[in-house]
């Protein structure tokens, strides 16, 4: 009786062995699912395109360069944008700025220009651009109190840089020789001289006795005359002959000297 259960157990194992082996056997290659590997799915990426941009500093630097040339600015020209300017993305590294329109009134503290920016073959921006401007030049400042009628010289003045576009009245540049000027109104210490403060110092004053050289071709004669008005070098002034009392005109050439051309 014990032999029968053992026999039945062995028979069941033998019957099941065939299907189980078939289940566990590896599938043929042509029967396996065609699932691609992870590495095969990772396609090589195209190289990233370089990012180019036009910054505010680069734009302003080019604007200053072109404006200084256009206005023939004597001094240090500084420009700034009147409104916030975001950095512009460019298709190429190179770009060209063209100023299509300048202000007809010339250089001033505020101005508007019409610009066009091109990068590659693409127009990036085009339109009006408001700007603020400064032009720094060396000008004369008073070292101390200066009185009306006072003749100027370098000992009474100092040269300092100033924004000449900020002033409504033009300033006296340090390139002007101060000995050729005199004050027409009082100026306090430490103030920039304006053209309203000074006048050209006359070499000849009204009522002064001057020497006149009258020339006609190769012939010349000297005479004395009274100046009937003030005059600086090159000015045409009215004179009266001391002897004949005849009134005539002559050009101031030097201190107390006038020339008449017949």
**Domain C-terminal end among 180, 200, 220:** 200
Q: In which domain, by residue range, is 68 found?
A: 52-135
In the chain, pLDDT over 90 holds for what percent of residues?
A: 60
- Cα dist from 226 to 45, 82, 211, 214, 248, whole Å: 96, 58, 9, 15, 10
Q: How far apart are CA 223 and CA 118, in angstroms?
A: 71
Residue 175 inside a domain? The answer is: yes
Sign, Cα dihedral of 61, 63, 69, 71: negative
In a domain, 30, yes or no: no
Domain count within the chain: 3
Question: CA dist 157 to 135, 163, 189, 192, 193, Å?
Answer: 21, 18, 9, 9, 9
- State pTM to two decimals: 0.67
Structure tokens at 230: 């003030």
Q: List, for residues 189-242, the tens digit of each pLDDT value.
A: 999 999 999 988 888 899 999 999 988 777 888 999 999 999 888 899 999 999
Please list, in sequence order, all residues whose beta carbon lies within 8 angstroms of the beta carbon of residue 71, skipping any fewer than 6 positions away: 77, 106, 107
Of 110, 135, 160, which one is at a domain's C-terminal end? 135
What are the phi and psi torsion angles at 181 (to 5°)? -120, 160
Domain annotation covers residue 192: yes
Q: pLDDT per residue over 70-118, tens digit each?
A: 999 999 999 999 988 888 899 999 999 999 999 998 999 999 999 999 9
């Amino acid at each position: 009786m014990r032999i029968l259960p053992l026999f039945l157990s062995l028979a069941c194992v033998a019957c099941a062995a065939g299907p189980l082996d078939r289940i566990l056997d590896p599938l043929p290659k042509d029967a396996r699912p065609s699932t691609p590997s992870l590495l095969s799915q990772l396609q090589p990426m195209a190289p990233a395109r370089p990012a180019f941009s036009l910054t505010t500093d680069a734009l302003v630097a080019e604007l200053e360069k072109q404006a200084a040339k256009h206005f023939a600015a004597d001094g240090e020209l500084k420009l700034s944008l009147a409104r916030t300017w975001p950095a512009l993305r460019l298709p190429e590294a190179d770009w060209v700025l063209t100023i299509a329109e300048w202000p007809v009134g010339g250089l001033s503290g505020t101005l508007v220009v019409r610009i066009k920016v091109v990068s590659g073959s693409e127009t990036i921006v085009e339109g009006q651009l408001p700007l603020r401007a400064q032009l720094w030049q060396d000008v004369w400042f008073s070292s101390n109190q200066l009185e009306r009628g006072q003749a100027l010289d370098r000992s009474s003045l100092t040269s300092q840089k100033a924004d000449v576009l900020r002033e409504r009245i033009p300033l006296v540049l340090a390139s002007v020789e101060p000995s050729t000027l005199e004050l027409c109104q009082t100026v306090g210490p430490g103030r920039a001289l304006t053209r309203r403060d000074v006048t050209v110092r006359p070499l000849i004053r009204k009522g002064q006795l001057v020497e006149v050289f009258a020339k006609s071709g190769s012939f010349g004669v000297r005479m004395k005359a009274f100046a009937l008005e003030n005059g600086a070098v090159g000015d045409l002034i009215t004179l009266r002959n001391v002897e004949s009392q005849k009134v005539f005109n002559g050009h101031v050439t030097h201190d107390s000297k006038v020339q008449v051309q017949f």
